[in-house]
Amino acid sequence: GGKDAINTTIINFNNEKMQITWAARELFPNENVSFFYTFSEGKHKVWKPCTTYLLDQDYNSGCLFKTEGPTLAISIRNSNGSEELFSKKLKADFYIKPSPPENVTFFWEEDTVTVSCNKPERNAWCLRLELQYKSKFDKEWQSRTSKCCSVGEQSFDPRKCYSFRVRLRRLVPYCNVVKYSSDWAAETFWMNGTLLDSCDDDITPQSKPVIVLSCSLAVLLMMLILLILLCKWQRVQMSVLPAIPEPKYPFADLFNDHNGNLQEWLDKNDHVVLQTKLEYEEPESIMEAESQQESGNSEKQGPLEKIFSFSGAAEDNDGKAAEIACLIPASNTEAPFASFHIFMNDDMYVML
């Protein structure tokens, strides 16, 4: 429709610079327009041409100029300035976008933090200080707003690292017709009142000894568990698979001196058999045999007397035959020697 139907974007940067933009390719597709502005009032206005254009595909799409007063009039004309295509009069103070807060300070007291910044010289009552924060466990920012230029918040966990950012907001509709806020001030990272470079470095020096101690205790605990498991495994292994004794150690002379020849070893060690027999006799039988010998009662001779009588008879005959007769027991009988018992069958095979 008319000259006021064109949509424009108006920003007054901290009441220092004005920026007016329009959709050049949509509104003026076939013409490169020119821009004029004035802060004068009354009939005798002095229009100033734009000296700093903003371009969109080589077409003028905006103008940047200095703010010179509270009242602004703009005019968009054809390329040579002879025909006005759009005009508008406005209050420049209603389009202010504040600058980011300056000298931002953080004051910590236990779980409470207070953030403040420098107070602007003009219209500070029109501004609100917005604080946003989140920990690395939060997905969204938490927001708090207060009068310029201080804001506080409680219930901060001293074990968490938090990101903080602040900005100034312009009140609507009392001071602005558009909800303009400043850009965010530099983001900072805090943990329990300590400034950090980032929340990735939230491990403070005080916590390093605790981590080292925890790791050491964990290693010692693992070693203790492994030692217990090893001992239990050895017991299980011994019960399931008991060790087979090596016969060469109790019969060292049998294997070393006689190359495993049992008969030769028995011939040479017949006195061992006799000694073993004597060692394993019951004390009562030995005492009874001694008393019988003293009384001369030959009808109640003990086992020892029989053995020596048999050996004496063997001495009158062939010595070799006597030894064999002495050492060969009856079928399926037991012949003890050393700490072992040898079982012999009818065919004279030895079973250990």
Largest CA distance in the chain: 168
What backbone phi and psi angles, to 5 degrees, belong to 208? Answer: -65, -45
Burial of 307 (C-beta count, 10 Å sphere; 0-12/13-18/19+): middle
Stated pTM of the model: 0.55
Give per-residue pLDDT as tens, 46-93: 899 999 999 988 889 999 999 999 999 999 999 888 899 889 999 999
pLDDT for the residue numbered 236: 72
CATH number for the domain running over 105-196:
2.60.40.10
pLDDT for the residue numbered 186: 92
Quickly name the fold that domain 8-97 has.
Immunoglobulin-like (2.60.40)
User: Over the range 43-54, which residues count as b (16 or more CB within 10 Å of their CB) and which as e?
Assistant: eeeeeeebeebb
CB 178 within 8 A of CB 95: yes
pLDDT for the residue numbered 161: 93
pLDDT for the residue numbered 325: 45
Q: Which residues of the chain have pLDDT under 70?
A: 1-5, 201-208, 240-255, 258, 270-352
How are strands ordered across the β-sheet holding 333-337?
333-337, 340-344, 350-351
**Residue whose C-alpha is closest to residue 95's, from 168, 38, 40, 173:** 173
Partners of 333 in the beta sheet? 344
Which residues, 6 or more positions from 113, have their beta carbon under 8 angstroms from its beta carbon? 106, 107, 152, 153, 156, 164, 190
Strand 96-97, strand 8-13: pairing = parallel
Q: Where are the alpha helices (DSSP H) in the chain?
A: 24-27, 208-240, 252-256, 262-268, 270-279, 283-295, 303-316, 319-327
Cα distances (Å, whole numbers) of residue 109 to 114, 143, 188, 193, 203: 8, 20, 18, 8, 21
pLDDT for the residue numbered 322: 45
pLDDT for the residue numbered 214: 85
**Residue whose C-alpha is closest to residue 178's, from 97, 101, 76:** 97
pLDDT for the residue numbered 242: 65
CB 101 within 8 A of CB 183: no
Residue boundaries of the structural domains of the chain:
8-97, 105-196
Question: What is the Cα–Cα distance from 59 to 133, expressed in whole angstroms?
Answer: 42
Q: How many CB atoms lie within 10 A of CB 281?
A: 15
105-196 has the same fold as 8-97: yes
pLDDT for the residue numbered 65: 96
Question: What is the Cα–Cα distance from 67 to 39, expressed in whole angstroms?
Answer: 8
pLDDT for the residue numbered 300: 43
Give per-residue pLDDT as tens, 130-175: 999 999 888 899 999 999 999 999 889 988 999 999 999 999 999 9
